[in-house]
Structure 1
């Protein structure tokens, strides 16, 4: 049998990130101040949305006679669309995400996980079912589901660069993928292509450290990937800046085109920018009707 002390120590180490992550995500979700909401378009539901003139296809029982009596037009009530929807989340936990250029900045992984969990909290409170694309967690509603997501999001991923998993996303669902998307682009494009084939739509958030955007390096510099698989030493780092920024712009353009082709929204977010603004963008992107 396993050593109980070692097992407990391992469990405590694994659980340590959970309260801060969950607390930060809760705080971020509260800062957006969206609260409970309807779908703000006509459909099945119990909550009144708006009056509109009756049309030929409306049933007689749908007419609001009290409102209609106040004018020469016959009115019906539209209800808010309140059918629960599945939202799948993936936050890249691969080695490349474990980077922060300054001590006062979160790592890309920390920001991605916080945004992912905060978005899940908002969507869950809005009545949606939320789950994880990887590690796989079937979509459900409620606080217990958010707690399970926090536990899984706190686990580190594998490999140098992450690739979103789309096979577990239900057809016609929504999805949120957060990563630096700096690895080989082909696997990401294949994953989004498979998702698009099943009418899965959503939001891609490219999380970058400000140093990755500005390339503030000069002179002798050793560049090494977070996973240690790539290493490059140069005496004139400044000479690489132009080529690097060109390649980065090409990658961002490629992500934008990928989103346009597959029907996903794309955001480039830096870890020194407002997390609340990014969360609001995510929420609106997931709410956008296709």
Structure 2
């Protein structure tokens, strides 16, 4: 009985939060124009997709000689692969994601959850199987999967920083990691290494608040982590600005290098910007990784 009573406030909170979040994700997804190709990928299907210039390593059997005869170059006739892909997402639930530098601006966690759900809408519409890493929302297809994903995204992490879960990975699938990536990078590198073992590719989407990019602090300032585990007081915050910006630039460069080395894509998005370009980039990045 006591357990049921304890679950009731959470259930009521979910009932209030999930419909607006899902509605916002649906609305955001509707603003993105995907074009005629949608989720098409080259593969072993039967339907013609496009011609592409022949590359080194293409066999003579792959060349379309009729099309090539009309130009000085050789072309390969590609067919569309209709098989569904599996896409796994991880959205950082650490306390650092609850930061916002302006009361009128939503925290990073809100934007990260919105983007994760919106790209899920687009992928599920395209027939893909979508889920979260770990065991909370295994990959499935169908609209009802959105509610499962949204429910799992509302779970909190007790620490300032969270590490990606690297269980439940699927061979040759896709992986999306959304975080501020300001914590220890060991967990990110470990998850990407396990994904590589499964021949998975994916994207790193870094979500930052504009204040974290600009460091608009001066004079006496107390810096405290969102979980309260870290605290630093200074009388001249401006003296820290150049060192902070250098370290942030180093972190971005490290993420970009890590992504390139793994065949992934990296992008940094600010919560002061519209979510639409970030969603379009994320969807296109998943297409390019296919």
C-alpha contact (below 8 Å) 1:38/1:80 kept by paired residues: no
Partner residue, 2:196 = 196
C-alpha contact (below 8 Å) 1:95/1:158 kept by paired residues: yes
- 1:149 is aligned to 2:149: yes
Cα offset for 1:6? 5.4
C-alpha contact (below 8 Å) 2:221/2:233 kept by paired residues: yes
Bigger radius of gyration among the two = 1
- In structure 2, the CA distance between the partners of 1:51 and 1:217, relative to structure 1 (3 Å rule), is closer
Deviates more, 1:10-19 or 1:226-235: 10-19
- In structure 2, the CA distance between the partners of 1:79 and 1:99, relative to structure 1 (3 Å rule), is same
C-alpha contact (below 8 Å) 1:35/1:126 kept by paired residues: no
C-alpha contact (below 8 Å) 1:86/1:139 kept by paired residues: yes
- In structure 2, the CA distance between the partners of 1:201 and 1:229, relative to structure 1 (3 Å rule), is same
Partner residue, 1:21 = 21
Unaligned 5+ runs, structure 2: 53-58, 63-75
Unaligned 5+ runs, structure 1: 59-75
- In structure 2, the CA distance between the partners of 1:7 and 1:154, relative to structure 1 (3 Å rule), is closer
Once the two structures are superposed, the pairs formed by residues 1-290 of structure 1 within 5 Å of their partners are 1-2=1-2, 7-34=7-34, 37-44=38-45, 47-50=47-50, 79-134=79-134, 136-289=136-289
RMSD: 2.3
Q: Is the partner of 1:32 in helix, strand or coil? A: coil
Summarize deviations over 1:15-73 as a string: whole Å, max 9, x none. Answer: 3210111011111100102278341535325x553589xx9858xxxxxxxxxxxxxxx
Summarize deviations over 1:140-199 as a string: whole Å, max 9, x none. Answer: 111001111111112222311011112211011101110000001122112211211221
C-alpha contact (below 8 Å) 1:42/1:49 kept by paired residues: no
Using the size of structure 1 for normalisation, the TM-score is 0.86
Q: Is the partner of 1:232 in helix, strand or coil? A: strand
Using the size of structure 2 for normalisation, the TM-score is 0.86
